[in-house]
Amino acid sequence: MIGSKILKFEVIESTNNFLKINQSSLEHGTIVQANIQTQGRGRNNHTWMSEKGNLYFSVLLKEEINRSLIFDNLVKTSVAIIRLLREFDIDGRIKYPNDILVEDKKICGILTESYGSLDIQYLVIGVGININQLDFKDLSNKATSFKIEKNKEYSIEEVLGKFIKHYNKLESENYELIFKEYITSSMVVGKKILFDSKEFLIKGIHKNGNLILEHENIIEYRTPNEISLTQLY
């Protein structure tokens, strides 16, 4: 279960960094939430625009964590966000591996970071959800928010509370069904991409997080770092 302890900040460098620095003194499931991040990050160290009015938080996981479960937790987080959006009548789709889009515009990003080479000591899941931001400047054609989609202001605390509710509910559900929901919500499964000068069909996503690709009836498996899906968006 997560969210029994929530630390809130007006301004912080990075909610993920705070948890990584202080993880030894914090309990499993602790959430750090900030109104503004000065050094928010996305995957591959891309900068995440962290303006006031959106929801930025990170979750610390320390119990029953091993390397094989890292992708499982990304799956659960993604599905929790899809369900959260649905509760607000917003139709989200999962852009593999770690973004949530609404009609090809990003509304949420997820960043997982773990510590430990063989045994995982802890896992930090960072989430940024665009809530009340209207102007994304140069990214206006690539980003959206709750307010843009529904034309109303939302409570940051209410959205966080609903995410916690959905995530904790998933903890007691069958993972096979959760993973099936993740695949159903995926934007990439069934799409064709060019890779190594060949056209591949994305047949699915393996439970270890690799893409399942098919070319001329031959199946290949590729990690997120081996292949770019920017051509799909």
> Quick one: three-class SS letters along 87-132?
HCCCCCEEECCCEEEECCEEEEEEEEEEECCCCCCEEEEEEEECCC
Instruction: Tell whether 1 is covered by a domain.
Output: no
pLDDT value of residue 80: 98
pLDDT band per the 50, 70, 90 thresholds, residue 230: confident
Alpha helices per DSSP H over the chain: 15-22, 70-87, 146-150, 156-170, 175-184
- Of 146, 166, 184, the position where a domain reaches its end is 184
Instruction: Tell whether 11 is covered by a domain.
Output: yes
Residue-averaged pLDDT of the chain: 91
Instruction: Tell whether 21 is covered by a domain.
Output: yes
**Dist CA 55 CA 9 (whole Å):** 12
pLDDT value of residue 156: 96
Domain that holds residue 83: 6-184
Strand-pair category, 31-37 with 6-12: parallel
pLDDT single digits (tens) 90-103: 999 999 988 999 99
Regarding whether 203 and 226 lie in a shared domain, the answer is yes
**What is the tally of structural domains in the chain?**
2
Regarding whether 132 and 25 lie in a shared domain, the answer is yes
pLDDT band per the 50, 70, 90 thresholds, residue 49: low
Regarding whether 83 and 22 lie in a shared domain, the answer is yes
Share of the chain above pLDDT 70, in %: 95
Instruction: Tell whether 34 is covered by a domain.
Output: yes
Share of the chain above pLDDT 90, in %: 75
Is the per-residue pLDDT at 162 higher than 60?
A: yes
- Mean pLDDT is lowest, of 37-46, 77-86, 105-114, for 37-46
